A and B are shown apart, each in its own frame.
Chain A
Amino acid sequence: MRRVKDKMIHGLFFLNGIFVVAILLGIFSLLVFTAFPAFKEINILDFLTGSIWNPDAYLEPSYGIVPMLVSTFMVTLGALVVAIPIGIGAAAYLSDVASPRVREVTKPIIEILAGIPSVVIGFLGIVLVGPFIAKVFGLSNGLNAINGSILLAVMALPTIISMSEDALTSVPSNYEQASLALGATKWQTVIKVKIPAALSGIIAACMLGMGRAVGETMTVLMATGCAPAMPKGFLDSVRTMTSTIAIELGEVAYNSTHYYALFAVGLVLFIITFIINMTSDIILHKYEKVHR
C-alpha cells in the first residue's frame, strides 16, 4: 500500500514537471509558427535592420524593429545601472551589517516590493517620477527612457537584493573568519572577500533582475511615452518591444501581416529573455559547484 502511494506521488510530481516543460514547448512552437508567416511578406533583413515601425500607416506600412530593440536595451541597461549598486549594497547590508532583528523585518518588506502591481508603479512614473525628471533635466516632460529605467530598477530590486543576500549568506563562514583573523576590517572583508566569493550568485541575481526588466510591459507602456521614433538618448521617449506588442495586439486584424509581425517581435523577445535566463542559470550552477 505504501509503495503504491509512493509511486503515485512520484508519478504525480513527474507529470507536473513534464507539464511545465510541455507548456514551454507549446508556447515556443506557437510563437515560431505564428511568427513565421510574417516573413512571406516582410523581408527578414528589413525586419531586423529597419528603423521604422509603422504597421498601420497612412500610406505604406513598414516593419523595422531596431528602434524597439534599442529602446528595450536602453531601459534595461538604465535599470541595471540604477539597480545593481543599490541592490548589492542593500544585500551586503542585510547579510553583514544589519542586526538579525533588522534583517527579519527588512527582508520581507523588500520582498513585498515585488508584489506591487506594475500598473501602480507605472502610475507613479506618470505623476511622480516624470515631473521630477522634467524638473531636474529642464525638460518639458518626463516621459522618457530614464523614467522607465528608474521604475524598472525599482521592480528589479527585490529579485537582486533577495538573491544576492542569499549568495552572500551562503559564503562559508571560514572565509570571513580567515579574513578577519588576518587583520582585515569588516568593510574590507565584505568588499574584498565575501562579494568576490559570492560573485557568481550575485551576477545570476542581476541577470534575473535583468530578465524581469526586459519583459516588463505595463510600467514602460505608461511611463516612457511610447514614441516609435528611434531614440537619440536617455532623455528621449522610447517604445519597447513589450509595449509595442501590448498596444497593437489588442486590435490587430487576425492573420494579417501585422498580426504575424507582432508574434515575430514576441519571438525575438522570447529568445532574448531565454538567453538571459539560461546564462544566469549556468552561472548559478557554476557557483553551486564551487562551494560544494
Chain B
Amino acid sequence: MKRFLVLSIVVALLLCVSNVQAGDMLQIKGSDTLINLVQRLSEVYMQKNPGKYISVTGGGSGTGIAAIINGKCDIANASRLMKPKEVEQASKGGVNVKRVVVAMDGLSVITNANNPVNLTVDQIGKIYRSEVSDWSEVGGKGGKITLYGRQSNSGTFVFFRDAILKGEYAGTMRRMNGNAQIVEAVKQDKTGIGYVGVGYVKKAKGLNIVKVAAREGAPYSSPLNSEDVKSGTYPIARPLNQYVNGTPMGAVADFIAFELSDEGQKIVEEEGFFLLPQEYVDFNKKSVGL
C-alpha cells in the first residue's frame, strides 16, 4: 500500500511537470517552406531567452491553417493567404486570425544542371498546364519534360497554380512530398522541372536555377538576386505569413517581435529568404502593432 502511494505521488508529480512545460511551450505549425527558417529563428530565440520553449513542426500551410482554426497551435506558418472561407470558419470557432508577414520568398523554378534554360512566366504556365511537352519548344535541348510539383496540401502548390498557371496542373505532374524531394528529383532527372522555395536551392548543386522574365521582352532575373526579389523585378515572389489568434500578447508577441527585429531579419536573409519591403513593414504595424 505504501509503495503504491509513493508511486502515485511520483506519477502525479511527473504529470504536473510535463503540464507546466506544455503550457509554456509555444506551438508553431504549418508551411514546409517556412519550417527551416522558423526553426532557426526559434533556436536563436531560445538561446537568448532561457526557459522559453518553442516547438516548430511542418506539414504544409493547409495543416498549419487547420491547426490555428481548431486552436491547436499558437502560430500558423502559411506560404499562402487564408481563404475567406477559412477565416470565416475560424471566427465561428472564436478564433480571430491576424496576419503577420515575416519574410519574402522568391519561388525558384529549377531544372537539371544539364538543361540551362531561361523562361518567361507564360512559358512556365504552358509547361505546367502541359500545353508544351518538349524542351525544344521553349529553347531547351530537347527531351520530354517531366513535371514535378508539390501535393495539394502545400501553400506553394496553391500559390504557383493561382499566380503562374491560372489554370489546372497537368495530371501527369508528379506530386512530391516536400521541397527537398523536388530538389532531389530534379537533380537526378535530366529533363525535369520543379518549383521550390529559394532557401532550398541556394546551396544545392547539380541544379539550374531558371532566370525568369515577367513577359516576353522583359529582362530575365534570378531569384538569387535579392534586389530583384525585393523590387518585384523577379516575377515569382510572395510574402510568407504567420497567422495568430487575436492581437498577439505575451510569449507570442515576444517571439514575433524577435522575428521582425533586425536580428531576426538577418537570419531571414541567411536562410535564403528576403527582407520585407516597406509595404509589408507597414502592414505588420497595422495588423498586429509590431
Contacts and interface: CB of A to CB of B under 8 A. Distances in A.
A143 B174 contact: yes
Given A247-B151, A247-B153, A250-B59, A239 B185 contact: no
Given A141-B174, A237-B172, 18 more contacts: A54-B168, A56-B158, A127-B184, A140-B144, A140-B190, A141-B146, A143-B185, A222-B181, A225-B176, A226-B174, A226-B176, A236-B172, A247-B152, A247-B175, A248-B153, A250-B153, A251-B63, A251-B152
Contact of B189 (A127, A140, A228): A140
A250 B152 CA distance: 10
B133 interface: no
Nearest to B158: A56
Interface string B7-22: 0000000000000000
A230 B171 CA distance: 8
A141 B85 contact: no
Given A126-B181, A140-B144, A239-B175, A229 B153 contact: no
A141 B189 contact: yes
**Residues of A contacting B: mostly:** loop
Interface of B: 59-60, 62-63, 65-66, 85-86, 89, 143-144, 146, 151-153, 158, 161-162, 165-168, 170-177, 181, 184-185, 188-192
A79 B177 CA distance: 23
Nearest to B112: A140
Contact of B188 (A134, A225, A227, A228): A134
A227 B150 CA distance: 10
A251 B168 CA distance: 19
Interface in A199-240: 221-222, 225-230, 236-237, 239
Contacts of A247: 151-153, 175
A182 interface: no
A58 B161 contact: yes
A22 B144 CA distance: 53
14 contacts: A54-B168, A58-B165, A67-B171, A126-B181, A141-B192, A143-B185, A222-B177, A225-B175, A226-B151, A247-B151, A248-B153, A250-B62, A251-B65, A251-B66
Given A57-B168, A58-B162, A250 B144 contact: no
Contacts of A227: 171-175
A222 B176 CA distance: 8
Contacts of B158: 56
Interface of A: 52, 54-59, 67, 126-127, 130-131, 134, 140-141, 143, 221-222, 225-230, 236-237, 239, 247-248, 250-251, 253
Contact of B171 (A55, A229, A253): A229
Contact of A140 (B143, B161, B162, B172): B143
A128 to B, nearest CB: 12
A228 B144 CA distance: 18
Nearest to A54: B168
Contacts of A56: 152, 158
Nearest to B147: A227
Nearest to B153: A251
Contact of B146 (A59, A130, A140): A140
A225 B147 CA distance: 10
Nearest 6 A/B pairs, CB to CB: A251-B62, A229-B171, A225-B174, A251-B153, A226-B175, A141-B189
B266 to A, nearest CB: 32
